Amino acid sequence: MNEPPRPEGVKGLFASFKDLKGAWIFVLLFIGGILLVIFSGNANEEPPAVESKTFDEKEYTTFLETRLTSLLAAIDGIGHVQVMVTLENTHTNIYAQDTTTKTTETSQEVESAFSFYTDKTAGSYPILLTEELPKVRGVAVVCKNGGNPEIQLTVTQLLTSLLGIKSNRIYVTN
């Protein structure tokens, strides 16, 4: 049996694979594996560390007062403004919980425990689902033309729409 001469080099290598059944599948899987390793990045990459910043109500109140002061100062005819905000409740964190229910013929028992994320470097910490900021209880606004009913109405309407509070919780004076 005389075989035809095979070309040398890369063409010769691929030509010899034509005779082998399934060799092409092996080559494609091998190339795919190499590409997967190249484009997957660092497999040992750790998730980012969780910042454990505590909530500061005074900082939040100051933030609200500053933002409201700058917004109210932009209203035509209002003059110099000072704002004081009071909060109704405190900051609340809501954490994930694992709940199991055991039911018998006569009773139902529900057990729940916080879910924790475990990190090699930071240890275990509970999984935070939501963070509820304190609700605004009331706002006092002192401004140059605060005695003007038109200014009082404008400021009150602005604050009720921004903060979602009733108008009886807003006081505007000069």
pLDDT for the residue 43: 42
- Judge whether 139 lies within some domain: yes
- Cα distance between residue 90 and residue 135, in whole Å: 8
- Judge whether 23 lies within some domain: yes
**Total domains in the fold of the chain:** 3
Residues 87 and 156 occupy one common structural domain: yes
Q: Which domain holds residue 32?
A: 1-45
Beta bridge partners of 172: 141
Would you state the structure tokens that stand for residue 23, as one six-digit string? Answer: 């060799």
- Judge whether 50 lies within some domain: no
- Judge whether 169 lies within some domain: yes
Residues 82 and 8 occupy one common structural domain: no
Residues 28 and 2 occupy one common structural domain: yes
pLDDT for the residue 62: 94
What is this structure's pTM? 0.53
List the pLDDT tens digit at each of the 174 positions of the chain: 555 555 565 566 556 555 555 666 666 777 877 776 666 554 444 444 445 567 788 999 999 999 999 999 999 888 899 999 999 877 777 788 877 888 888 888 888 777 777 777 777 778 888 888 889 999 999 998 889 999 999 999 999 999 999 999 999 998
Residues 171 and 139 occupy one common structural domain: yes
Residues 78 and 164 occupy one common structural domain: yes
Q: Is the dihedral of CA 73, 76, 78, 79 positive or negative?
A: positive
pLDDT for the residue 131: 82
- Cα distance between residue 139 and residue 134, in whole Å: 14
pLDDT tens by residue, 41-84 = 544 444 444 455 677 889 999 999 999 999 999 998 888 999 99
- Judge whether 51 lies within some domain: no
Residues 85 and 140 occupy one common structural domain: yes
Residues 164 and 154 occupy one common structural domain: yes
- Judge whether 157 lies within some domain: yes
- Judge whether 35 lies within some domain: yes
Which amino acid is residue 30, in one-letter code? F
